[in-house]
Chains A and B, each alone.
Chain A
Amino acid sequence: MFDDRYTLANKIYPYEKSPDQDLPDAVRHPVVIVGGGPIGVATALDLGQQGIPVLVLDDHEGIGMGSRAICFAKRCLEIADRYGCGEPMLDKGVVWNLGKVFHRDDKVFEFNLLPEQGHKYPAFINLQQPYFEEYMIDRLRHLQAEGAPIQLRGKNRVDAVAVKGDHVVLDVMTPDGAYQVEADWLVACDGASSPLRDMLGQDFTGKVFEDSFLIADIRLKGDVSFPTERWFWFEPSHGEGASMLLHKQPDDVWRVDFQIGWDVDRKHELKEKNIRRRLDAFLGGVEYDMVWSSIYTFQCKRMDSFRHGPVFFAGDAAHQVSPFGARGANSGMQDVDNLGWKLGLVIKGQAPDALLDSYSVERVHGADENILNSTRSTDFITPKSEISKIFRDAVLTLAGKARFARPLVNSGRLSVPCVYDGLPLNGPDRLTGGPARTRVGAPMVDAPVDGAWLLEKLGGEFQLLTIDADAPELLDVDGIPVRRVALSAVGNPELADRYLGDGPSAVYLMRPDQHVAARWDHYDPAAVRAALNTATARA
Chain B
Amino acid sequence: MTSLNMDPNIAQPDDFYARLLAAHEGKSKAESDAINARLILILANHIGDTPVLLEALDLAAEA
To the question of whether A and B form a pair in one complex, the answer is: yes
Which residues of B in the span 12-48 have a Cβ within 8 Å of any Cβ on A? 33-34, 37-38, 40-42, 45
- A394 and B45 CA atoms in complex are apart in Å by 13
> Which residues on the A side are within 8 Å of B34 (C-beta)?
390, 393-394, 397
Closest Cβ–Cβ distance, residue B40 to chain A (whole Å): 8
B residues in contact (CB < 8 Å) with A: 33-34, 37-38, 40-42, 45
- A18 and B18 CA atoms in complex are apart in Å by 84
Evaluate contact between B41 and A398: CB separation under 8 angstroms. Answer: yes
Number of A-B contacts (CB under 8 A): 26
In the complex, per-residue mask of A388-416: 1 if CB is within 8 Å of any chain B CB, else 0: 00110111011000101100100000000
> Which residues on the A side are within 8 Å of B41 (C-beta)?
391, 394-395, 398, 405, 408
Contact of A390 among B33, B42, B45 (CB under 8 A): B33
> Which residues on the B side are within 8 Å of A390 (C-beta)?
33-34, 37
Closest Cβ–Cβ distance, residue A376 to chain B (whole Å): 16
- A391 and B34 CA atoms in complex are apart in Å by 7
Name the prevailing secondary structure of the B interface residues. Answer: helix
A residues in contact (CB < 8 Å) with B: 387, 390-391, 393-395, 397-398, 402, 404-405, 408
> Which residues on the B side are within 8 Å of A387 (C-beta)?
33
Closest Cβ–Cβ distance, residue B57 to chain A (whole Å): 13
By beta carbon, the residue of chain B nearest A404 is B45
7 A-B pairs with least C-beta separation: A394-B37, A404-B45, A394-B38, A390-B37, A390-B33, A391-B37, A394-B41
- A404 and B33 CA atoms in complex are apart in Å by 20
By beta carbon, the residue of chain B nearest A397 is B38
> Which residues on the A side are within 8 Å of B33 (C-beta)?
387, 390
- A405 and B41 CA atoms in complex are apart in Å by 8
Closest Cβ–Cβ distance, residue B29 to chain A (whole Å): 11
Closest Cβ–Cβ distance, residue B54 to chain A (whole Å): 17
- A395 and B38 CA atoms in complex are apart in Å by 7
- A402 and B45 CA atoms in complex are apart in Å by 11
Closest Cβ–Cβ distance, residue A379 to chain B (whole Å): 15
A-B contact pairs, 6 of them (CB 8 A): A387-B33, A393-B34, A394-B34, A394-B38, A402-B42, A404-B42
- A402 and B44 CA atoms in complex are apart in Å by 13
> Which residues on the B side are within 8 Å of A402 (C-beta)?
42
Closest Cβ–Cβ distance, residue B56 to chain A (whole Å): 16
Closest Cβ–Cβ distance, residue A405 to chain B (whole Å): 6
Closest Cβ–Cβ distance, residue A104 to chain B (whole Å): 13
By beta carbon, the residue of chain A nearest B35 is A394
By beta carbon, the residue of chain B nearest A386 is B33
> Which residues on the B side are within 8 Å of A391 (C-beta)?
37, 40-41
By beta carbon, the residue of chain B nearest A402 is B42
> Which residues on the A side are within 8 Å of B37 (C-beta)?
390-391, 393-394
> Which residues on the A side are within 8 Å of B42 (C-beta)?
398, 402, 404
Closest Cβ–Cβ distance, residue A74 to chain B (whole Å): 30
Closest Cβ–Cβ distance, residue B51 to chain A (whole Å): 19
Apart from A391-B40, A393-B34: 18 A-B pairs, beta carbons within 8 A: A387-B33, A390-B33, A390-B37, A391-B37, A394-B34, A394-B37, A394-B38, A394-B40, A394-B41, A395-B41, A397-B34, A397-B38, A398-B38, A398-B41, A402-B42, A404-B42, A405-B41, A408-B41
- A391 and B38 CA atoms in complex are apart in Å by 7
Closest Cβ–Cβ distance, residue A401 to chain B (whole Å): 10
- A408 and B37 CA atoms in complex are apart in Å by 13
- A393 and B38 CA atoms in complex are apart in Å by 9
> Which residues on the A side are within 8 Å of B45 (C-beta)?
404-405
